[in-house]
């Protein structure tokens, strides 16, 4: 029997655990015999009883919010303990890649948030909990649509490819974390610098977010219920013109062009319709409900613990009632078991998710775009009670309420993520941990398009149904051998491992037309009748990754720290000769506060310096990019009775030399704590350069095929991060504050083609490449014309000439924008375009405030982002004659009102005021939000115990209660829709202001 050392002749230690400050007994304190898995938890009155093999060793008392205490047993059978409230920086353990470390000995830059922070943030998505609470992590909500993703950037944007960090849940890399129930999370660690991420080598370049789920602890069954219900509303309505102002501006526009005015009968109309239709009121879903319920059971004994939870969330969106919502049902079972030298466990989750959504940021046909553009003169319904169609609408700008009616699509996902791990301790010093994880997801989408004609060019003659099924299956197995030892004051540990990951994605879909039954419920492929047009598609994607890695940690007397990491990764995305990449990192630390001269300092309780250097890789490109794939496309036909033929051609020029993208980072950090750890301040500075960027830089069109993906660029991020906090207890008052701040500077250092630039997203029909990457500029900056005010007179136009006396803007009239001729050639062309804005903030900050008084608790969390710009050119269809305007048009230039901010209104627009992407369309997107505020009351135990409960807390909370911003659009948080498509407002689906009421109930 290998599993030997279990002894039956146990002894018992008992005692009580109390709060050192208040003397109150503490419930649920975790007590472990150090170095074993023997443990228990305190019960209702803070008492515990623990069976131990003998009365030796050390007991470790852990409790969230208190300092962990280690008490040698020394033969005692009764040990009573008073726990000090957490001093924030103690001997807590934090997760690092493939292991755990004592925080004070960590040499990398790692931010951590815990379940308590997550509970307070009550995030709809887990990424939101990171926003502002972790320095160096920029989180931008992509839209207010339920289930919508967030843009997460760790230490800036390091690539022109996919810049999302790697998410690792309980050791398993997963594609996204929206399947997780935030209430199941125990902690999130964000690994920011190369020394901490190098162990994830291949995929660590964008940073790593490590998520650990809740575990059970030994003791009687604990039942915990949390739930809330709430309602959501738009936090603001954009100031759009009402009918009288709209008609006035339209008449003026047409008159300015010498055309017939469209509303000669304006006054009669005003009498008839008053201020007209407020379309925002029509498309917003006021008091949209949200509800969330989580039930958790946990417990166990000395050898087995478990945690089981189930949760349900339902959320409606604030736009397009019934067509934009999110539903998630999830189950989780985590268990840990121990037998002798072997401990093992499982993590199993199942999630079912249903999402219905609208396009959240689309300038042509988006619901919010139609709302912002349609005229306020048209009513929602005509006299027959049908959706009215606007006589002034053209192209995609049609009745938005009618548009909501024709949207019918749904995404269903079933996801199972499960893993088993086993850890075998050969000796106290040597162990092997093996894991096998599976991530299996089925996603089904279904769309029904009815026959409709909404006016403009928005019509559809044939009903259709599209069905697609996706299966993603990823498995990973890793095997890690560890050795740790101590010789005098020399502590060291060595780790070596091996990992395989395999991912495949099968898809199958089809489209059917002319349905026999025209409704969403019946919109399945079999319902189609038009067999000629019925199409189907299907295929398979394959990716594999193999890795070897090792890590050495050494410290002398917990004072001088050294860590070295080496990872060797192979990815199937590269050709056979360039498959493998090596990613090293080293880091050092010096815990100065352990030196004699600081050891008993009255003020400084902790001081550590650390420095690290390392390299990471990225293989964020498509599969088989290194080889010249032959694409087939049927786009032509022959014959007097035509039949379709299929053509085949290489999809891009191949580059067999394609290699890993490498990110190299140097990081310096200082961690300090003062006044008995009541105050802490941490600083980090970093310089991160990504070299060999995987990109497809333009090549001359005459070469005749799409450019190859090459390792062709360098981007640099430099930044400073601050995390600080303060905590004080005064009588019944307990206050804690924390403040994080992040400065980041991003610059494209090199793009290896002859132009040194990459073209990004355009806006509307006339503004090409508003977003760009260019050497010397930040990634995805706004590229456009600089304006120098507005021509106030014909003289000014005549005086704006080039060297030869030719007019620079011959088509201009007074009231038009003056464009700066940067290259001085006397013409306004693309060559005059410069950087007119940066979509990423210079500085972000988070401020958290907790105040407890007796049974009351108050939490406030503010988040601010400063210095980012928003490009607004997509919020109005300037290419069309009669879309509505925002109210700032009322300050347009006229002869009577020589405005210097807004050009004259015109439909023909010969000067291109509204078709050239210029700084007229750039607004400061800085904002400060009261992201979260909550007020809770915990009922006294004597009352709750009557119901058999140990804790009952009631609270009210609000999200986005206050927003301070100068931005004129729906919402200043826009997010990234592609690496070179960031911060462009195309009428964003705004964030909701949510009020919730909830309870936390423990038995």
Partner 1 sequence: MKRVILIIPFIGLLLLSGCVDDFLSHDPPVERTQDNFFQTKADAEQALYSVYEVLTFHHGRENTGFHPFDLVSNILSDDAYGGGSGPGDQPELVEFNDHNVSVTNSKALGLWSDRYTGIYRANLLLENIDNVQFEDEQDRVVMAAEARFLRVLFYYDLVRFFGNIPLFERPLVAEDIRMEQADPGEVYKFLVAELLDIIPDLRDVVPPAEAGRASSWAAKSMLGRIYLYHRDYAQPVLGAGSLPVTEGDVLGHLEDVINNSPHGLLDDFSALWGVDGNNNNEAVFSVQHGAAALSSFGDWGFLNGSYGNWSSQMTGVRGVGFHPEYAAGWSFQPVTPDLVEAFDQDADTRYFLSILDPVEEGLNHRPDEMYQWQGFAFKKFYPRFPDSPSVNTPFNWPYNRPVVRFADVLLMAAELGSPNAQDYFDQVRMRAYGDDFVQIPPTRENIMEERRLEFAGEGQRYWDLLRMGLDTAAEKINAQAIQDIPINFRTERLGLLPIPQSEINLSDRTLVQNRGYD
The footprint of partner 1 on residues 362-401 (CB under 8 A) is 394-395
Give the shortest CB-820-to-partner 1 separation in angstroms: 17
Is 698 a residue that touches partner 1 (CB under 8 A)?
yes
> What's the rounded Cα separation, in Å, for the pair 911 and 813?
8
Q: List the interface residues with partner 1, window 480-499 (CB under 8 A).
A: 481, 498
Residue 804 found at the interface with partner 1 (CB under 8 A): no
Among 7, 116, 259, 490, binds partner 1 (CB under 8 A): 259
Q: Whole-number minimum distance, CB 503 to partner 1, in Å? A: 11
Choose, by CB under 8 A, the member of 8, 643, 942, 948 that binds partner 1. Answer: 643
Instruction: Check residue 822 for interaction with partner 1 (CB under 8 A).
Output: no
Q: Give 487's strand partners.
A: 490
Q: Which of 221, 255, 644, 997 binds partner 1 (CB under 8 A)?
A: 644
The CA-atom distances, in angstroms, between 711 and each of 163, 253, 619, 622, 855 are 16, 50, 11, 14, 59
Cα dist from 487 to 34, 491, 556, whole Å: 19, 7, 10
**Helix, coil or strand: residue 377:** coil
Tell whether the torsion through CA atoms of 906, 908, 910 and 912 is positive or negative. Answer: positive
**Cα(215)–Cα(62) distance, rounded to whole angstroms?**
14
Q: Is 436 in the site for partner 1 (CB under 8 A)?
A: no
Which positions from 412 through 431 interact with partner 1, judged by CB under 8 A? 426
**Does residue 639 belong to the site contacting partner 1 (CB under 8 A)?**
yes
380: alpha, beta or left, given left = phi > 0 and alpha = psi -120 to 50?
alpha
Spatial separation of the C-alpha atoms in residues 33 and 922, rounded to whole Å? 61
If the CB atoms of residues 187 and 361 are measured against partner 1, the closer one turns out to be 361
Residue of 80, 102, 287, 457 that binds partner 1 (CB under 8 A): 457
- Cβ proximity to partner 1: between 17 and 774 the closer is 774
Q: Does 461 bind partner 1 (CB under 8 A)?
A: yes
Q: Which of 487, 630, 730, 946 binds partner 1 (CB under 8 A)?
A: 630
Residues 6 or more apart whose CB falls under 8 angstroms from that of 591 comprise 104, 105, 558, 559, 560, 561, 606, 607, 608
- Rounded to a whole number of angstroms, the minimum distance from the CB of residue 889 to partner 1 is 16
Distance (Å) of CA 723 to CA 103, 337, 443, 683, 743:
15, 37, 40, 7, 12
Q: Does 519 sit near partner 1 (CB under 8 A)?
A: no
Q: Which stretch binds partner 1 (CB under 8 A): 129-137, 570-578, 597-605, 777-785?
A: 570-578
Residue of 649, 733, 853, 856 interacting with partner 1 (CB under 8 A)? 649
DSSP code per residue over 647-695: EEEESS---TT---EEEEEEEEEEEEEETTTTEEEEEEEEEEEEES-EE
Question: Is residue 570 near partner 1 by the rule CB under 8 A?
Answer: yes
Q: What is the DSSP letter of 109?
A: -
Alpha carbon 262 to its chain's center: 46
* Residue 880 binding partner 1, by CB under 8 A: yes
User: Binders of partner 1 among 920-979, rule CB under 8 A?
Assistant: none
Is 632 one of the binding residues for partner 1 (CB under 8 A)? yes
Buried b (16+ CB within 10 A) or exposed e, 6-43: eeeeeeebebbbbbeeeeebbbbbbbbbeeebbbbbbb
Minimum gap (Å) between residue 510 Cβ and partner 1: 11
Relative orientation angle of helices 243-256 and 266-273, to the nearest 10 degrees: 160
Output the smallest distance, CB 263 to partner 1, in A. Answer: 13
Find the part of the chain contacting partner 1 (CB under 8 A) among 415-423, 610-618, 738-746, 911-919.
911-919
Q: What is d(CA 50, CA 39) in angstroms, rounded to the nearest whole number? A: 7
543-551, 718-726, 787-795, 893-901 -> range binding partner 1 (CB under 8 A): 543-551
Decide: is 642 part of the binding site for partner 1 (CB under 8 A): yes
Interacting stretch for partner 1, rule CB under 8 A, among 207-215, 371-379, 696-704, 780-788?
A: 696-704
- Asked if 704 touches partner 1 (CB under 8 A), the answer is yes
**Among candidate residues 144, 297, 279, 281, the one with its CA nearest the CA of residue 219:** 297
In whole angstroms, the minimum distance from the beta carbon of 300 to partner 1 comes to 28
- Minimal distance, residue 539 CB to partner 1, in Å: 4
The C-alpha angle with vertex 69 and arms to 66 and 73, in degrees rounded to 5, equals: 150
- Does residue 274 touch partner 1 according to CB under 8 A? no
With residue 493 as reference, give the H or E element that holds it.
Answer: strand 490-513
Determine, following the binding rule CB under 8 A, whether residue 874 of this chain makes contact with partner 1: no
Tokens coding 992: 């909701």
Single residue of 95, 122, 654, 980 touching partner 1 by CB under 8 A: 654
- Identify the residue among 68, 354, 491, 705 touching partner 1 (CB under 8 A): 705
Q: Going residue by residue from 766 to 785, which x/- string records binding to partner 1, judged by CB under 8 A?
A: x-x-----------------
Rule CB under 8 A: is residue 599 a binding residue for partner 1? Answer: no
Query: Which of 276, 248, 348, 346 is CA-nearest to residue 304?
Result: 346
Q: Based on the shown chain and the rule CB under 8 A, indicate whether residue 638 belongs to the binding site for partner 1.
A: yes
Each residue 218-247 as x (binds partner 1 by CB under 8 A) or -, in order, gives ------------------------------
827 binds partner 1 (CB under 8 A): yes
879 sits near partner 1 (criterion: CB under 8 A): yes
Q: What is the smallest separation between the CB atom of 910 and partner 1, expressed in angstroms?
A: 7
Of the residues 329, 508, 604, 629, which one makes contact with partner 1 according to CB under 8 A: 629
State the DSSP code for 945: G
Residue 514, C-beta contacts closer than 8 angstroms, at least 6 positions apart:
462, 463, 528, 529, 530
Smallest separation, CB 536 to partner 1 (Å): 12
Residue 55 CB, nearest approach to partner 1 (Å): 29
Token pair 């979509």 in the structure block, residue: 839
Q: Rule CB under 8 A: choose which of 530, 806, 888, 891 binds partner 1.
A: 530
How crowded is residue 491: how many other Cβ atoms within 10 Å of its Cβ?
17
| Interface with partner 1, residue 6, by CB under 8 A | no
Query: Shortest gap between Cβ of 622 and partner 1 (angstroms)?
Result: 11
* CA pair distance 765, 874, nearest whole angstrom: 10
> Residue 83 or residue 393: which is nearer to partner 1 going by CB?
393
Nearer residue to partner 1 within complex by CB, 83 or 458? 458
Nearest to 151 by CA among 133, 161, 136, 165: 165
| Closest distance of CB 793 from partner 1, Å | 21
Which of these ranges, 195-203, 241-249, 301-309, 567-575, lies near partner 1 under the rule CB under 8 A? 567-575
Q: Which of 51, 80, 529, 829 binds partner 1 (CB under 8 A)?
A: 829
What is d(CA 447, CA 450) in angstroms, rounded to the nearest whole number?
10
Nearest-approach distance from CB 438 to partner 1, in angstroms:
17
| Per CB under 8 A, 824 contacts partner 1 | no
Classified as helix, coil or strand, 919 is helix
Listed in sequence order, the residues at least 6 apart from 222 whose beta carbon sits closer than 8 Å to its beta carbon are: 28, 216, 296, 297, 298, 299, 1002, 1003
If residue 243 lies in a helix (H) or strand (E), which one and from where to where?
Answer: helix 243-256
Q: Give CA–CA dist 155/660, Å, rounded.
A: 20
* Angle, vertex CA 934, rays to CA 930 and CA 939, nearest 5: 170
Task: Tell whether residue 251 is a contact of partner 1 (CB under 8 A).
Answer: no
Size of the site for partner 1 (CB under 8 A): 104
Contact residue for partner 1 among 94, 406, 436, 546 (CB under 8 A)? 546
Other beta carbons less than 10 A from residue 855's beta carbon: 13
Nearer Cβ to partner 1, position 264 or 910? Answer: 910
Cβ proximity to partner 1, 253 vs 616, nearer residue: 253
For 872, the 3-state DSSP assignment is: coil
């Amino acid at each position: 029997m290998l599993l030997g050392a279990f002894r039956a002749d146990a002894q018992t230690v008992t005692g009580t655990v109390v709060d050192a400050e208040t003397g109150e007994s503490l419930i649920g304190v975790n007590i472990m015999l150090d170095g074993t898995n023997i443990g228990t938890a305190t019960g209702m009155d803070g008492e515990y009883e623990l069976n131990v093999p003998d009365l030796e060793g050390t007991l470790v008392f852990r409790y969230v919010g208190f300092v962990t205490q280690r008490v040698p047993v020394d033969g005692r059978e009764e040990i009573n303990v008073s726990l000090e409230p957490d001093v924030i920086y103690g001997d807590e353990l934090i997760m690092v890649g493939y292991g755990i470390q004592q925080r004070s000995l960590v040499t990398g830059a790692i931010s951590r948030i815990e379940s308590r922070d997550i509970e307070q943030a009550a995030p709809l998505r887990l990424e939101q909990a990171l926003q502002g609470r972790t320095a160096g992590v920029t989180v931008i909500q992509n839209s207010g649509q339920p289930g919508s993703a967030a843009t997460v950037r760790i230490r800036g944007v390091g690539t022109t490819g996919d810049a999302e960090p790697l998410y690792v849940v309980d050791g398993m890399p997963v594609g996204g974390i929206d399947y997780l129930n935030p209430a199941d999370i125990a902690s999130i660690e964000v690994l920011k610098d190369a020394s901490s991420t190098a162990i994830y080598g291949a995929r660590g370049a964008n940073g790593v977010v490590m998520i650990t789920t809740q575990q059970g602890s030994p003791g009687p069954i604990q039942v915990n219920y949390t739930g809330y219900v709430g309602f959501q509303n738009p936090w603001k309505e954009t100031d759009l013109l009402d009918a009288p102002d709209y008609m006035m501006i339209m008449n003026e526009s047409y008159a300015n062009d010498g055309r017939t005015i469209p509303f000669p009968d304006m006054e009669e109309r005003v009498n008839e319709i008053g201020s007209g239709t407020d379309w925002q009121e029509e498309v917003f879903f006021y008091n949209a409900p949200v509800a969330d319920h989580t039930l958790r059971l946990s417990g166990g004994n000395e050898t087995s613990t478990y945690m089981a939870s189930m949760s349900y969330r339902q959320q409606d969106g604030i736009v397009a009632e019934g067509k934009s919502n999110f539903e998630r049902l999830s189950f989780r079972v985590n268990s840990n078991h121990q037998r002798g030298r072997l401990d093992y466990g499982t993590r199993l989750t199942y999630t079912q998710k249903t999402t219905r959504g609208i396009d959240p940021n689309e300038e042509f046909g988006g619901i919010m775009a139609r709302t912002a553009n349609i005229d306020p003169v048209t009513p929602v319904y005509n006299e027959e009670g049908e959706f009215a169609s606007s006589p002034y609408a053209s192209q995609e700008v049609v009745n938005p309420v009618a548009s909501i009616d024709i949207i019918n699509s749904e995404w269903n996902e079933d996801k199972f993520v499960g893993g088993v791990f086993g850890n075998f301790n050969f000796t106290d010093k040597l162990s092997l941990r093996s894991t096998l994880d599976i991530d299996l997801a089925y996603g089904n989408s279904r769309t029904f398009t009815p026959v409709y004609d909404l006016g403009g060019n928005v019509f559809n003659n044939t009903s259709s149904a599209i069905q697609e099924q996706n299966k993603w299956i990823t498995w990973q197995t890793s095997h890690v051998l560890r050795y740790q030892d101590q010789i005098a004051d020399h502590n060291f540990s060595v780790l070596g491992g091996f990992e395989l990951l395999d991912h495949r994605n099968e898809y199958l879909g089809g489209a059917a037309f002319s349905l026999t039954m025209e409704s969403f419920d019946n919109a399945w492929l079999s319902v189609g009748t038009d067999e000629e047009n019925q199409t189907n598609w299907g295929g398979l994607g394959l990716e594999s990754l193999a890795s070897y890695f090792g890590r050495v940690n050494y410290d002398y007397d917990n004072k001088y720290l050294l860590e070295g990491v080496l990872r060797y990764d192979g990815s199937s995305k590269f050709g056979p000769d360039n498959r493998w990449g090596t990613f090293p990192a080293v880091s050092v630390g010096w815990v100065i506060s352990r030196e004699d001269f600081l050891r008993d300092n009255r003020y400084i309780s902790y001081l550590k310096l650390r420095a690290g250097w390392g390299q990471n890789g990225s293989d964020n490109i498509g599969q088989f990019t290194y080889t010249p794939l032959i694409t087939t496309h049927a786009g032509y036909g022959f014959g007097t009775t035509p039949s379709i033929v299929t053509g085949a051609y290489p999809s891009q020029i191949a580059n067999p030399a394609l290699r890993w993208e490498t990110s190299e980072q140097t990081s310096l950090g200082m961690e300090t704590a003062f006044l008995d750890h009541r105050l802490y301040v941490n600083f980090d500075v970093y310089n991160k350069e990504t070299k060999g960027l995987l990109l497809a830089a333009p090549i001359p069109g005459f070469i005749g095929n799409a450019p190859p993906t090459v390792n062709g660029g360098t981007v640099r991020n430099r930044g400073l991060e601050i995390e600080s906090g303060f905590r004080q207890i005064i009588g019944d008052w307990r206050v804690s504050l924390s403040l994080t701040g992040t400065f980041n500077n991003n610059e494209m250092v090199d793009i290896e083609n002859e132009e040194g630039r990459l073209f990004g997203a355009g806006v509307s029909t006339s503004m090409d490449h508003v977003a760009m990457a260019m050497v010397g500029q930040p990634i995805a900056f706004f590229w456009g014309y600089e304006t120098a005010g507005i021509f106030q007179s014909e003289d000014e136009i005549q005086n704006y000439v080039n060297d030869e006396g030719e007019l620079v803007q011959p088509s201009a009239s007074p009231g038009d924008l003056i464009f700066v001729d940067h290259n001085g050639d006397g013409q306004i062309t693309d060559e005059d375009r410069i950087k007119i804005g940066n979509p990423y903030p210079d500085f972000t900050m988070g401020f958290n405030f907790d105040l407890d008084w007796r049974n009351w608790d108050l939490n406030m969390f503010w988040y601010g982002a400063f210095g980012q710009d928003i490009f607004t050119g997509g919020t109005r269809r300037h290419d069309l004659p009669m879309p509505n305007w925002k109210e700032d048009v009322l300050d347009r230039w006229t002869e009577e009102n020589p405005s210097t901010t807004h050009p004259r209104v015109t439909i023909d627009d010969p000067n291109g005021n509204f078709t050239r992407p210029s700084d007229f369309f750039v607004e400061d997107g800085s904002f400060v939000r009261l992201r979260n505020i909550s007020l809770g009351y915990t009922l006294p135990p004597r009352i709750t115990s009557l119901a058999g409960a140990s804790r009952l807390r009631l609270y009210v909370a609000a999200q986005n209660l206050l927003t301070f911003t100068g931005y004129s659009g729906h919402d200043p948080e826009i997010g990234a829709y592609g690496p070179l498509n960031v911060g462009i407002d195309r009428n964003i689906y705004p964030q909701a202001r949510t009020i919730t009421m909830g309870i936390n109930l423990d038995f």
